[in-house]
Chains A and B, each alone.
Chain A
Amino acid sequence: MGNRIMGALRRLNELGNQYYNAPYRAAIARAKRDEEDLFMLLVFSEMMGIPNPAAWSTLELQPLLMDRFHEWHTRMGMERSPLDHFRCC
């Protein structure tokens, strides 16, 4: 009995969350993407000649972000990788 009530409550909570989030999923995903784009720019800024005081830290992140690099530069309107020594496509 207790389990069933807990299950029903969990289901209710799940539906409530859907109700709360569904109308704004797209707007929030877009905002998140914009934030991530800015982050990519910060991480790769040194390579493009923009001085970055935190270069020592961001350098470590570059391999982790490689997967997203191609997607990012195409979204930024650059068909090919903007970095000479850094080809992804």
Chain B
Amino acid sequence: MSAIILLLLGLGGMAAGYLFYSRFIANRIFKLDPNFRTPAHEYEDGVDFVPTNRYVLWGHHFTSVAGAAPIVGPAIAVIWGWLPAFIWVVLGTIFFAGVHDSGALWASVRNRAKSVGALTGEVVGARARTIFMIVIFLVLLMVNAVFGVVIAKLLINNPGAVVPVWGAIAVALIIGQLIYRRLIGLGVVSVVGVVALYALIYVGPQVPVALPSEVMGLSANASWILLLFAYAAIASLLPVWMLLQPRDYINGLQLFVGLILLYGAVLIGNPTVVAPMINVDVPAGTPSLIPLLFVTIACGAISGFHGLVASGTSSKQLDKETDARFVGYFGAVGEGSLALAAIIAATAGFATLADWQAVYTAFGKGSLTAFVDGGASILAGGLGLDISVAATLLTVMAALFAGTTMDTGLRLQRYIFQEWGEIYQQKWMTRPLPATLLSVVSCLLLAFGAGGADGSGGLLIWPLFGTTNQLLAGLTLLVITIMLVRRGRPAIYTLGPLVFLLAMTLIALLLQLKNFYDKQDWFLLGLDLVVLVAALLVTLECAAALKRAFAEPVEQS
């Protein structure tokens, strides 16, 4: 089958979702009101609360939620064939992610722009808030560990990308200084930055860097993981303007350039999807499609992480309440289109079915490597790029996304440790350095604990990351549903996704529990149990809170 058909069907479906379904949700369910005074106006302070142009806000929102996760998930999930992943990404974006993201914005805007964490405390109850903190910590822990493993793998797979990936950090540092000290305007800096980055990508394959296969008893993979965490720890302690801000900016530009290049190459080269529609011959040990598909692809179909971005930051800058539809729903569509690109790269970027099967030899194989290799051959075929440059370009794109998530994730984890330090009166834990070290050590334990001394098995926890992320989404959906019930509006559009998500998450956790037990993987079994307990608590909390909400009289809205 032609990849162009897949692309047009997917984009067309998501566009229709935005045009029709999101209009229905915005007008009939959330009843977004253009005259409502948003927190950005109500509490305007020039710092947190600033009414912002909706296109600018969409730009942030989209680039903050899109990262490596919507690439990794679909690139793993195509092992069941392209159709299940495709359907879940498209329908998930339309009926789950879009509603969840715009709903989180609406809920927050109607509650003085509070974050989902604070909202769960206020709308659902104090207990729910505690569960929320734990779930968030687990999400951050897993995402940092997995991304460390993923980037290490990418760097080993493509030594040509080492120079541009680390060089990009130098470029960001220089850009940060130039802008902060107002030496040059943003326009010139953007052009210079992007040109410098692409020059590095072009040069990279000519100066490949590979770590020695063993340093002090550590494999190259393990050494990269340690180096990456050392970097992330330092980056998360630096002032944001120095590295994080310019890096985010370059990543944002990269995201748009990368998506345009990939889609352009598909349209010009028209590659053929070689992967089976539904893979009846999955490798031994591959778990069942239902429910694992729905937790393997979290970002790209629905992700709790978006609720954090929507409620914590975007909601404080929403100029009009009606903008929630464009910023939230269309932001989800943007992420869906990235996941779609990942599906196409990982299924149409191979010459033959045998080549594809050689990559997808077991569950968890493929992932970013398949995206990079597949995407590179599409770029080479469509745009005539040199294959090694194309592979370097995609590796840099994926590694930069994952790297930024890592340093932001470590920063957030550090805040949680610092907060726990205050709650439990451990003064040492409230300091940035010890809190950062604790975060790094916990992530490293997970990365190495799951995969042994060479840190190679980190991707085994990917589905567990998906389940925790879905739990987070479940809590956000719960907040929105309760708000709808209290206002006497139909709750089925958020309650349906909530029930579906919780059911799939619980079944997935139980199945994996059995799987880990059979493999006698006690570390992952323990982790699975922790997440399972959190999932049960979330489910019970949902049931109790909804029962209360349905019993309450309807308020005027």
Binding site for B on A (CB under 8 A): 9, 12-13, 15-20, 22-29, 31
- What is the 8 Å Cβ interface bit string for chain B, positions 51-77, against chain A (1 contact, 0 not)? 011011101100010000000000000
The 6 tightest CB contacts between A and B, nearest first, are: A29-B47, A27-B240, A18-B56, A24-B245, A26-B48, A24-B240
Q: Is the CB of A16 within 8 A of B50?
A: no
In the bound complex, how far is the Cα of B179 from the Cα of A16, in angstroms? 12
For B55, give its contact among A13, A15, A23 (CB under 8 Å): A15
B138 CB to nearest chain A CB (Å)? 25
Q: Is the CB of B252 within 8 A of A19?
A: yes
In the bound complex, how far is the Cα of B179 from the Cα of A29, in angstroms? 16
- What is the 8 Å Cβ interface bit string for chain B, positions 464-495, against chain A (1 contact, 0 not)? 00000000000000000000000000000000
Chain A residue contacts of B53, Cβ below 8 A: 15, 18
Stretch at the interface among B150-158, B185-193, B219-227, B349-357: B185-193
A18 CB to nearest chain B CB (Å)? 5
Q: Is the CB of B47 within 8 A of A25?
A: yes
In the bound complex, how far is the Cα of B172 from the Cα of A20, in angstroms? 13
Chain B residue contacts of A9, Cβ below 8 A: 187
In the bound complex, how far is the Cα of B47 from the Cα of A16, in angstroms? 17
Given contacts A25-B47, A26-B48, contact A20 B239 (CB under 8 A): no
Q: Is the CB of B241 within 8 A of A22?
A: no
Q: List 20 A-B contacts (CB under 8 A).
A: A9-B187, A12-B187, A15-B55, A15-B56, A16-B187, A16-B190, A18-B52, A19-B60, A20-B245, A20-B249, A22-B57, A24-B241, A25-B47, A25-B48, A27-B241, A28-B240, A29-B47, A31-B239, A31-B240, A31-B241
Given contacts A23-B245, A23-B248, A23-B313, contact A17 B186 (CB under 8 A): yes
A15: nearest residue on chain B (CB-CB)? Answer: B56
Asked whether B311 is an interface residue with its Cβ less than 8 Å from the other chain, the reply is no
A17 CB to nearest chain B CB (Å)? 5
Beyond the given A16-B186, A18-B53, please list 20 additional residue pairs across the A-B interface where CB-CB is below 8 A. A9-B187, A13-B186, A13-B187, A15-B53, A17-B186, A18-B56, A19-B252, A20-B245, A20-B249, A22-B57, A22-B60, A23-B60, A24-B241, A24-B244, A24-B245, A25-B50, A27-B239, A27-B241, A28-B241, A31-B241
Chain A residue contacts of B252, Cβ below 8 A: 19
In the bound complex, how far is the Cα of B48 from the Cα of A27, in angstroms? 9
B411: nearest residue on chain A (CB-CB)? Answer: A27
Given contacts A15-B56, A28-B240, A28-B241, contact A22 B50 (CB under 8 A): yes
Asked whether B317 is an interface residue with its Cβ less than 8 Å from the other chain, the reply is yes
Chain B residue contacts of A20, Cβ below 8 A: 179, 186, 245, 249
In the bound complex, how far is the Cα of B94 from the Cα of A41, in angstroms? 55
In the bound complex, how far is the Cα of B312 from the Cα of A26, in angstroms? 12
B57: nearest residue on chain A (CB-CB)? Answer: A22
B67 CB to nearest chain A CB (Å)? 14
Chain B residue contacts of A17, Cβ below 8 A: 186
Provide the main secondary structure of the chain B interface: helix
Interface size, chain B (Cβ < 8 Å): 27
Q: Is the CB of A13 within 8 A of B60?
A: no
In the bound complex, how far is the Cα of B194 from the Cα of A16, in angstroms? 15
Chain A residue contacts of B240, Cβ below 8 A: 24, 27-28, 31
B510 CB to nearest chain A CB (Å)? 39
Q: For residues 221 through 250 of chain B, which have their beta carbon under 8 Å from a beta carbon of chain A?
A: 239-241, 244-245, 248-249
Chain B residue contacts of A23, Cβ below 8 A: 60, 64, 245, 248, 313
Chain A residue contacts of B244, Cβ below 8 A: 24
B310 CB to nearest chain A CB (Å)? 13
A44 CB to nearest chain B CB (Å)? 25
Chain B residue contacts of A15, Cβ below 8 A: 53, 55-56
A25: nearest residue on chain B (CB-CB)? Answer: B47
B317: nearest residue on chain A (CB-CB)? Answer: A22
Most buried by A among B57, B179, B245: B245
B325 CB to nearest chain A CB (Å)? 20
A75 CB to nearest chain B CB (Å)? 15
B184 CB to nearest chain A CB (Å)? 12
In the bound complex, how far is the Cα of B99 from the Cα of A36, in angstroms? 43
In the bound complex, how far is the Cα of B240 from the Cα of A25, in angstroms? 10
Q: For residues 185 through 228 of chain B, which have their beta carbon under 8 Å from a beta carbon of chain A?
A: 185-187, 190
Chain A residue contacts of B313, Cβ below 8 A: 23
In the bound complex, how far is the Cα of B48 from the Cα of A29, in angstroms? 9
In the bound complex, how far is the Cα of B180 from the Cα of A31, in angstroms? 13
In the bound complex, how far is the Cα of B240 from the Cα of A38, in angstroms? 19
In the bound complex, how far is the Cα of B317 from the Cα of A15, in angstroms? 14
A33: nearest residue on chain B (CB-CB)? Answer: B47
In the bound complex, how far is the Cα of B317 from the Cα of A51, in angstroms? 45
In the bound complex, how far is the Cα of B190 from the Cα of A2, in angstroms? 23
B274 CB to nearest chain A CB (Å)? 39
A34 CB to nearest chain B CB (Å)? 10
Chain B residue contacts of A16, Cβ below 8 A: 186-187, 190
B313 CB to nearest chain A CB (Å)? 7
Chain B residue contacts of A13, Cβ below 8 A: 185-187
Chain B residue contacts of A24, Cβ below 8 A: 240-241, 244-245
B385 CB to nearest chain A CB (Å)? 27
Chain B residue contacts of A29, Cβ below 8 A: 47
Q: Is the CB of B48 within 8 A of A19?
A: no
In the bound complex, how far is the Cα of B182 from the Cα of A20, in angstroms? 13
Chain A residue contacts of B249, Cβ below 8 A: 19-20
Q: Is the CB of A19 within 8 A of B56?
A: yes
Most buried by B among A9, A22, A29, A31: A22
